[in-house]
Structure 1
Amino acid sequence: MKRTWHQLTWEEIGQIVADGMDAAILPVGATEQHGPHMGCGMDSELAGQLCRDAAAQTGVFLLPTLPYGCSVGHSRRWPGTLAVQPKTLIDLVKEIGDWVHSAGINRLFIINSHVTNAAPLRCALEMLRAEHDGLMVALINSAQISPRVRDAHHADGDDWHANAAETALMQYLAPELVREDKLIDADDPDRTADCVFSHPVNRTSLNGVTGSPSKATAEDGRQLFEWMVTDLSEKIRMGLVEKPPLTHGYNDAVQFNKNAQSQKV
């Protein structure tokens, strides 16, 4: 069942909520350099297609994809990156959450396809759940959906980027983003294994890549994407029936038994 937010009228959204659907997915991507072999929209393409398919399988609302993310670590060495500051992303997602909550959404799944979006998105999560007591927010990083998805992403480096997994996903999902003739020379190793500090990409990569995109195939991308859709959909289904472990309100104070306390004095 497709419930794409921007295609619905306000009456339709209100009726779907009244009928019992109180959950939405927010895909968050980025626009940033992905080496010499892949288009800058890779993260947003993945977030959009992954969430589209998971929303169709679970019946939740699909919010518009955010195409800009916290990509400041990619530096200005290579053109193509369009980054926002962490505080900008925090505010933007917080305000989107405010509005969807006002429409009756009480379960918000934030699906992030760019690694360094994770910290500001977590901050937005903290702010939303503190302000809206009935709103439950999940932050799911697309490369960490499940063990098999995580293993595939990290197969050619811990600090991966534009690697075999990401390239394979685009060969399958959006082949127009991949420059096949550039793959053979695109590989660049992970140089961060013994680093204490977190360095920007201009100091860890020669060409904006970390990993082995030359090993990518569209078949690998198909298999990985199917895992991602299946495993994300399962998480969402679990979230649709989840209840808080306890029912205490956010601003509830602990009520002490005054008589019991006075007897101890």
Structure 2
Amino acid sequence: MLWAERTWEELPGDLAAAANAAILPVGATEQHGPHLGAGMDFLLADRLCRDVAEATGVPMLPTVPYGCSLGHSRRWPGTIALDPVLTTRLVAAVGEGAYASGVRRLFIVNAHVTNAAPLRSALELLRAAHDDLMVALLNTATLSERVREAHFADAADWHANDAETSLMMALAPGVVRPDRLADADDPDRTEGLVFAHPVNRTSRNGVTGTPSSASAEKGARLFVWMVEDLAAIVRRGLAESPPLPHGYDEPAAIPVKA
């Protein structure tokens, strides 16, 4: 169910069979410490959404490989960042094109934490422009409580940590450098801070967490949870309708007591 492989004659039927829904994976290209490749986020978004598209029958739009990664600074090579406004406009433009093609339920699946605010802004723009378009923003690390616990187990402000490294060991071992794991650990230094500091002010090597404890077995188990839990959310969304009819603008008249 890959949008890029379907023709204009086939897509209308694909969408009709999937409640006019589509999945949009969004990742990032950014440094992930000395032991992980820079494409970790979009590789995860792409693989996760491919599996969920297959499980649910919902077409998957091409993965967006760039995101709002300004917080990673330029201390380490590898990060290619979009600013928040450009990220918002890009995803909103993709949503507009999907709408013109017949999509009325759009699941934006975000695999990079600091994409959240721009993607929420894109959701607001799309929702305001089209009263009959439903948009969901889902973050891969918090799809369910079990997925969240696995991601946050070694750090609250995690990055390139045990969970992410384990996922890549299971899904894309070619982006993992096992010989750099032993000295890649770096602690979370953000507890109690008032300001949101860039990564070059909180990490010595671009990592927050303990990637040295990662394993392919943990990654495979976590990925199964992520596919199961995202697929369940998508299936619920396919059957969802707004609590009130489209076009509801004014509250019901309040009876006036005599």
Structure 1 length normalisation: TM-score? Answer: 0.94
Letter matched to residue 137 of structure 2:
L
Query: Runs of 5+ in structure 1 lacking a partner?
Result: none
Deviation at 1:44, TM superposition (A): 0.4
Q: 2:92 aligns with which of 75, 91, 94?
A: 94
Q: How far does residue 245 in structure 1 lie from its aligned partner after superposition?
A: 1.0
Secondary structure in 2 aligned to 1:69? coil
Check if 1:232 corresponds to 2:230: yes
Q: CA deviation at 1:35?
A: 0.1
**Which protein has the larger Cα radius of gyration, Structure 1 or Structure 2?**
1
- Secondary structure at the aligned position of 1:185 is classed as coil
- 1:166, distance to aligned residue in structure 2 (A): 0.1
The letter of the residue matching 2:161 is N
Distance 1:77 1:55 in 2: 37
AA of the residue aligned to 1:7: E
Shift in alpha-carbon separation, 1:129–1:185, aligned structure 2, 3 A:
same
Decide which of 46, 49, 55 is 2:47's aligned counterpart.
Answer: 49
CA distance in 1, matches of 2:132, 2:7: 25
What is the aligned counterpart of 2:206 among 184, 205, 208?
208
Q: Tell me the equivalent position of 1:186.
A: 184
CA distance in 1, matches of 2:16, 2:200: 50
Give 1:137's match in structure 2, choosing from 132, 135, 138. Answer: 135
Asked whether the 8 Å contact 2:15–2:59 carries over to 1, the reply is no
Alignment of 1:25-104 (within 5 A): 25-104=23-102
Q: Give 2:145's aligned amino acid.
A: P
Indicate if the aligned counterparts of 2:26 and 2:108 stay in contact, CA closer than 8 A.
yes
For residue 256 of structure 1, report the CA deviation from its aligned partner: 5.0
What does residue range 165-180 of structure 1 map to in structure 2 within 5 Å?
Answer: 165-180=163-178
Q: Distance in 1 between matches of 2:16 and 2:22?
A: 14
- Quick one: distance in 1 between partners of 2:147 and 2:16? 35
Give 1:178's aligned amino acid. Answer: V
How many percent identity over aligned positions? 61
Offset at 1:62? 0.5
Q: Are the equivalent residues in 1 in contact too, given 2:184–2:207 (CA < 8 A)?
A: yes
Aligned to 1:191, what secondary structure does the other structure show? coil
Q: Comparing 225-234 with 15-24, which one deviates more in the overlay?
A: 15-24
Equivalent residue number for residue 14 of structure 2: 16
Alpha-carbon offset, residue 255 of structure 1: 6.7
Q: Which amino acid aligns with 2:97?
A: W
CA–CA distance in structure 2, aligned partners of residues 82 and 91 of structure 1: 17
1 CA distance for matches of 2:62 and 2:93? 14
Partner of 1:146: 144
SS of residue matched to 1:247:
coil
- The alignment covers a number of residue pairs equal to 258
SS in 1 for 2:93: helix
Matched, 1:242 2:240: yes
- 1:16 deviation in Å? 2.4
> How far apart are the structure 1 equivalents of 2:252 and 2:241?
23
Matched with 1:128 is 126
Matches of 2:108 and 2:18, distance apart in 1 = 20
Range that drifts further, 130-139 or 240-249: 240-249
Instruction: Report SS of the residue matched to 2:35.
Output: coil
Letter paired with 1:101: Y
Q: Give the RMSD, CA atoms, in angstroms.
A: 1.5
Q: C-alpha displacement at 1:17, in angstroms?
A: 3.0
- Deviation (angstroms), 1:173: 0.2
TM-score where L is the length of structure 2: 0.96
Over 3 Å counting, the alpha-carbon distance change for 1:190 and 1:20 in structure 2 is closer
**Equivalent-residue separation in structure 2 for 1:183 and 1:19 (angstroms):** 45
Counterparts of 1:174 and 1:212, CA distance in 2: 19
In the TM superposition, what is the alpha-carbon distance from 1:39 to its structure 2 partner?
Answer: 0.2
Deviations 1:147-174 (A, max 9, x none): 0000000000000000000000000000
1:20–1:202 distance in 2 versus 1, CA, 3 Å: closer
Give the distance between the partners of 1:175 and 1:18, measured in 2 at CA.
Answer: 37
Q: Secondary structure in 1 aligned to 2:182?
A: helix
